[in-house]
Structure 1
Amino acid sequence: MDRGRLSRTSRRQSDLPMRVADTNRMSMAYVTPQRKPSFGKLNVPKPQSVTSEKRTSFFGARTSGMGLPCNSTLGGFGGAEKVKDTRPLHDKGFVQQCIRQLCDFLSEHGFPGSVSAKTLQSPSTKEFLKMFEFIYCQLDPTFLMPTSKVEEEVPRILKDLGYPFALSKSSMYSVGAPHTWPQVLGALIWLIDTVKIYLSISKQQLNDFSEDMNIEDGAEYNKLFLDYTAEGYAKFMEGQDTFEEEDEAYFAKLKKLYNVDEVLLSSMEEKHRILSAEVERLEKENQMDPLMSKRMEKLKLQTDLKKLQSYRGSLESFKANLECKASELNKEIEGTGHHVESVNQEKEKLQHILKNQKFTPSDVERINREKKELQQTISSLTKTMEEAQQHVWNEEITLAKVKENAELKLAEYHKLARKLKLIPVSAENAGGHDFEIKSSSDYGPGTIVQHKTQIQMPLRTLIGNVEEESSRLTNMKLSLEESVEQVNSNILDKSNDLRQMREQIRRLDERLEHDMQEHALEEQKWSAEVDSVENHQMLLEKKVHHGYDEALQQLKAAQQQYHLVLQETNEERRTVVNNLASVFTTAANHLFVVERSLEELHSKVQRICTKAIEEEEAEIQNLRQMAKPFISKAQSFTGEASK
């Protein structure tokens, strides 16, 4: 069975998205009818609007089977709603990145002109049109840039391609201006991304088409696919959005055509599932280092062994105490047994005497009364003895628990002292003092007082040293924070200066526009004067003949004066434009240099301050974490010792 054809069919996706999301798809998704890859004319759909939820169908408004409007997800932007550009186009870093991307694209695709990052900082309108024409020719090789109304043609082309942001006509007159070039550069970058997507899609479609021609070239398969496509498209035009029945029928015919073995497929899926589970298990096992896990297990077992050894020692001492008490109790029991034997002998003697002699009723009553008193005395003494034994047992249990808690706390103290490098005497932080405490079972109460006086004073000295170091580091941190605040204030001052320079540049732009308007008004005025002179000449030619030579001379003088004035006006305008351009270039370069130095200075100061503060905070935090349990343990040990 040829599984390649079936897998290729399952990979085919519809170019038109579904109008209703189908959440009940199986793992092998049946697809909607397809279109074969088309070549030649570019067919790039317009992207969806980010903020608008209106969707317009390319096929117009139509109704579904129930008579309700059936909206398509393929559509342009709803109405005339404007979308806000969220890209940081006024960020210097982002603009430089876009310029590098544009320069790389043009050099990679063989742009005929000379392109560099410096020339792309503020290109002219002519250079922009050359770049736009070259990039758009990657989409449509037959495209030619029109010679007239370019300011209307370029925004229209971008709008037809689906560019979501509007470009004004005025931006096409001064493309390289600082306030216009970022928006135009953003449009070029979007056009480059569109070209890249189109080229990748075209390449993929060519590969898919060649694979289809090599794999799916059977007449029966083509007939099945065409029938399936025609039936699905007919249902789609009727308003249907899901095609489960058609997909199932199509796949059933394909399975029958290629003799698909369902049992083999299920067995292979089960095998794939088992292998995937095995791979996941092996990956999880490999994530942990076996040597590290064994080392951790060894350390854990060593700590458990130490705990068991200490517990065994405490149990042996407890066993010795119990054996001593048991021997004492055995002696007590032996003495009680001898006493019981003597009491029994006395009882036998008394019984013998009772049998051999006669008693009066008063003697019997007296004896019975004494017997009852003796029995009560015996029961009370037995109860007292049981209570005493129970009290002794409870005291022994309490003593064993207290000893066990003392041993655990002593082990914790030794562990903490080793972490703080206080044990042994030759440790780094011991300072020649012996902070180790022997087992409390080897010493008496006087030894505890001796340990208390021996350990408390060095510990208090260490705590004082740690607090002094902490206060020193805190003062250092405060001084660093003050320096950081001073740097931030300097940065704020520089930002204010930068804002003022931008305001000056804006005023210069306004002044330039005002001067250009004045020059346009002067040109209109001179053209009006020329028209009036020409009209006057015609009237003179028609009505006046005797002063023709004088009028002709006046006309020539007026024309010469007009040309001189016009030439002077052009020279003045050219001079003003050149001066303003040089002023703008100098201001922009100075602004760029100042911003770059400020950014470098800010990043350097921020990096140094952040690193210093993080190191100091880490050291302070470590010292605090080290001193906190040490102080608490010392205080608790002092409290217990005092108790």
Structure 2
Amino acid sequence: RFKVKMSRRPSSRYSEMPLRVTDSRMSLVNATPQSKDNVFGKLNIPKPQSSTSERRTSFFGKSAGGQRNSMFGSYGGPEKMKDPRPLHDKAFVQQCIKQLCEFLGDHGFPGTISVKALQSPSTKEFLKIFEFIYSLLDPTFQMPTSKVEEEIPRMLRDLGYLFPLSKSSMYSIGAPHTWPQALGALLWLIDAVKIFNSLRGQDLLFADFSDDFSELEEGVEYNKLFLDYCSKTYNKFMQGADTFEDEDTEYLSHLKRLYNVDEALLESQKEKHRVLIDELERMEKESHTDRLMGQRTEKLKLQTDLQKLQSYRTHMESFKSHLEKKCAGLSEELEATDLQLEGLKQEQARLQHILVNQKFTPADIERINRERNELQQTVSSLSRSLEEAQQLVWNEEIDMLKTIQRAEVRLTEYHKLARMLKLIPQSAENACGHDFEIRTVSDYGPTTATQIRAQIQNPLKNMLLDVEEEFSSLANMKLSLEETVEQVKSNISEKVNDIKQLKEQIRRLDLQLEHDMQEIAHEEEKWAADVDAAESHKKLLEKKVMDGYEEAEEQLKATQQQYHLVLQETKEESRMVANNLTHIYSAAANHLVIVEKLCNDQVKKMDKMSEIINEDQTVLQQLKEMIENFVARANNI
């Protein structure tokens, strides 16, 4: 059973042309599409009704008088439509060429094609492109071998292409005044291929209906309702109506009854939708800033901070390694100081033991106090000296770090300049096998830095000397080349004068050639007229010869038939005579005289038949000679 699959959501348009009637409400079915430029006729002005005029019959039935023109009514008429596309705009043509090139590349065009080649293609390339695109619509299509300039415009008209493509434009398809029209036809054909591919595989009556609906939508009731609605609205549209509110209301009521629509549920859903819309507007008003942009800005800030932290981390790691080295040196000094302190403690214990066990005199006590005061002053002065030394060391370390940072910056600049000059790495083009790369500054001491400076400066000086020598040689070569260029320019000026003289001669020869070509064309026209006259005379003679030949053939056939009849009668008589002779020889041995008499009679009859046969052969020979004469005359003509 044939089933028409339809949807209850006819919301998409059935044509790509703009709507003639605009409406703020959602229409159940789109109005019949018409062009903005009114290219298919005046749709809004009805024709005056005549008493004798014929009434046009619509697809859905007869419509009343005063009808409007259908968008399909003017197709094929005598008027040639003007292409509204800006085909003479260079930018639009370049855009079309790019679109054509992309389409051919995406669909596997069997050949090399480029935008440059499509600026002015040859007729052969155009035919190949047309055949490839048309084969996407009809895989069995083959390009005709003759009268291509007539067949291609005819095929485009059969497909529904509205704009004329003349026969003469096919002879010079790549010319600037004909290629844009042919390019427009190819783009229209590409759009047809895209529409065909989008609709291929769908067995639906309308393009945007899907298969995911209930069995009720595939039934007869919905199809009948929809076709009845389309019929009524189209008839009113052809009568001049632009709105179909009654039909929309009736169609809605029928659909609601058919699908058992709950009005209360619809109203509740509408109210819920309105509440959600109000909530959405309120939330949009509350958030004045774009959170996504804020988050993106915050992300960029965090990425910048992360890069700064990473650079600071690398700097701190290098500073940490430097401090670890310094800490290791201080640890060694601290161990030596601890050993020295331990020795001083032992000495103090020994002296304390001596002090406790011995008896001092007042002079010794005074001397010890004096020595103690001197030692305390010495310790305080040494402590101040130590603090000053530590402060000086700290300042020197800070200055050293700053110097190292400046050196690293200059080292980075040096490496950047060396890479630009192709001096590093050692295998670079201008390195000449020398290693000009300097490692981290902190890894070298002052003497090593001096050695590296000397190691880099000496090869660089040698390279500078080589470059200066090469520069001087190139300067000499430049002077010689400039002299050569001057000589060549003088030669070119002489050749330009010669070329001007040759161009003047060529122009004269072109004028003479054009004059000769006109004379040759005039003579060719005369020769063509003579050839046409000779062809007509030849056809007339061939017709006469063929008529005589057919008449002779008919006579020959009649004569052959007569000959066969006579030959058959002769054979029959001969057979009868032989039978009779056999019967007579076997039965009448005693009647020899009678048999001889009969034999003589039969012999006489046979002689007569032989004479008849000889006469027939003579007639056939005469007919053959006459036919040979006819054929010889026809060949001579």
Common topology (TM > 0.5): no
- Structure showing the higher helix proportion among its residues: 1
Q: Which has the larger radius of gyration?
A: 2
